[in-house]
Structures are given as structure tokens and as C-alpha cells.
Amino acid sequence: MPEAAAPGRYAAWPRGAARALLAGLLVLLVAAALVPIRAGEGDAVPPSLTSAGPARERDADLLLYDHVIARLRHGEGYYAVVAQEHRRHHYPLRPGFAVRLPTLAKAEALLPPGALIPLSVLLLGAVLLAWWRRLATEPEALPLRTLALAALFFGASIGTIRYFFVLHELWAGQLLALSFALHRPGQRRGEPGRWLGAWCAAAAALAIREHALPFVLLMGAYAAWHRRWREAAAWALLAALFCAALAWHLHTVAALLRPDDPASASWITVRGLTGWLSMIILSGNLRWLPHELAGPLVVLALFGWSAWRSAAGVFGSLLLAGYAVLFMIAGRGDNFYWGMMVGAVLPMGLAFVPQGLAGLWRAAGGTKTIVSGDVAVQ
């Protein structure tokens, strides 16, 4: 396919708008290279991500979940155990959101410990295969499919690291990446498309971590916007079922509270650019790069998603930008692993950066590109 056939979203932008976006992108890249990347107050990188070898120090959050799962394997009940372990490890029980949903702990307690490694590899393989097939249906992405999949592997391979298997965000993020890939919207407004597999994968992610709810709500809103009413109703039903289950969870936790149980520190921290970049970088393989390079790469990846002229590009841009805003507002430094919710798919945007920048540069210089279907003419 000739290069001119895939100009990206910005190739036909008016010159003034293109110049404004280009200037804004440059400012954001410089800022991303300069702002600090922190896991907590005074901690540039969490110990669990800098240590190596079997004797490395276990992160306190992971140790808490280790003990909960170990006790579940001996037949104890989840809520009684989690309340006791929270108090023993000096973790708050109020509000109820401080206590994780029981899904992952119960599942890992039922499975043999050795089953989690092959399960994680199978899930990674399913994510890669689903995206390989999804990209084959996207004319603008087809020439970049190998590069996009390599970037996806870079982001999603964190899911096979045994050290993090007790983290809810690890599994939920992989399942959201799978759901995104399995979703096949209709080619025309109102056309139903295929979404059942995506719905099931998202439901599994939501059962593990409530942080998957923005993905589900965006799927529903996107379906409604395109008048796919049956699909929109299915996503709305999933959100409603989850809210009912979450209410039961919170009620159960509240019944276990004691007057001396402390409250959690606020999750509303408004850390801005540092909050977003820290969560994405420290929760994935970008943590191995100097933060002066890793920060701009995160920004470029989001730009690449926005430059991909397709339904997947629009949805991915909205999804990743939405989580970016949430991470700028909410999340303490020690919640860095929240970035795993979207860290798997974000690097895929890097595959679309060259064509996006080329199109934006031409538009900023006043070179007109007429885009019609899959054909571009300058």
C-alpha cells in the first residue's frame, strides 16, 4: 500500500489547527521529559520494580494479597480473612473501596499455584492473536501490523511476570486489552457488528477490578452514539449488574467494621502530569528506560492512537485520554499499579506516530491532503 494511502487523521486538518496541535504536542513532550516520576513521597521507583532475583523484597500490597490467598486455600471465608489481614498489615478497611473484590483471590486460591504462569501466557497469546486479527481488518493499520503487535507485546508482556500475579490490575488490564481487540463495530451507523466476546472479557475484568468500569461505560456510550441499541443495552446491563454486586460488596465490608478501624487517605490527589506518567511508566516495561525518554514515549503513544484514522483509533484515544485524566486527578503514589489497566495497549500507538507526525507536519505547512475512503491525494 503506498504511503500516501495512509496519511493519518491530521493530514487534512486546517493549517492553524495543525500548527496549534503541533505546538501543544511539543510543549507536552518537553514537560513529560522534565516532570518527576514517583511511586510515593520521595520514592522515584517502588522497591518491587527495582529489585531483582528470588530474594527481592516483597511489596507490602502484594504481601497482603499473598496472605489472603494462602488462608483461602485452607478453607477460610474471604471477607473475614481480608478484614483480619487488613488490620494485621495496617491497611484501612474504610471506605469499602479499600477492600478488593473477592474474585481474583478466590480464583487464585482454587487454582494450583503452578497454573498461573501458563494461564498468563495463554491470556497474553489470546491478546496478541486477537489484535493481529483485528489489525488485519483495518486498512490503515495493515501495513503497520507487525510493528503495532511488537509494541503491544512490549506493553502486555508485563502480564506474564509471576511476581505481580496477585495484582488485580494486572489481570483486569489484560482482559480489557482482549475485550478491545475482540470488539468489531459495524462499518455503518446502526450496523450491529460483533461484540459478545468483548462483552464477556470486559465482564471478567470488571469482576476483578472496579477500575474497568470506565471502559464498560465508554463501550456503552460509543455503541449508543452509533445507534447500536442492542449492544448499548448489553453494556448498560453489565454496568448495572456490577453496581449491584459492588453495593453488596460494600455492605458486606461495612458489616465487619470496628469503631477503631482507620479511614483510608484520600485517593483524590491531583498530581497532574506526574500522576499519569508515573502510573503508566512504573507499572510496565517503560520503567527500565530513563524517565526523560519514557515520559515523552507515553505522550507519543497517545498521540499515535489519536492519529490512527479508524473506529479503533477513536475509541482507543478516548479510552486512554480518559484514564490519563483520571490518573491526573486520582491515585496516590503507592497506587502506581493502576496504570496496568491500560498499560498493555497504550504502546501500540507508537506504531502510528510516524504517519501521524508526517501528516500533521504537512498540514501545519499548508500542504493539503484530500482524504477519501482509503485514498489520499496531495
Summarize pLDDT for 21-58 with one digit per residue, the tens: 999 999 999 999 999 998 765 555 555 555 444 445 67
Q: Which residues of the chain have pLDDT under 50?
A: 1-5, 51-55, 372-378
Q: What is the pLDDT of residue 60?
A: 83
Query: Is residue 195 situated within a structural domain?
Result: yes
What is the extent of the structural domain holding 96?
13-365
Query: Is residue 286 situated within a structural domain?
Result: yes
Query: Is residue 67 situated within a structural domain?
Result: yes
> What are 46's three cell numbers?
517502588
Query: Is residue 4 situated within a structural domain?
Result: no
CB 97 within 8 A of CB 253: no
DSSP SS3 for 85: helix
Query: Is residue 266 situated within a structural domain?
Result: yes
Query: Is residue 324 situated within a structural domain?
Result: yes
154: Cβ contacts below 8 Å, ≥ 6 apart: 285, 347
* Structural domain count, the chain: 1
CB 104 within 8 A of CB 171: yes
Query: Is residue 323 situated within a structural domain?
Result: yes
Query: Given 3-state DSSP classes, what are the helix, strand and coil percentages for the chain, each rounded to the nearest 5?
Result: 70, 5, 30
Q: What is the pLDDT of residue 373?
A: 47
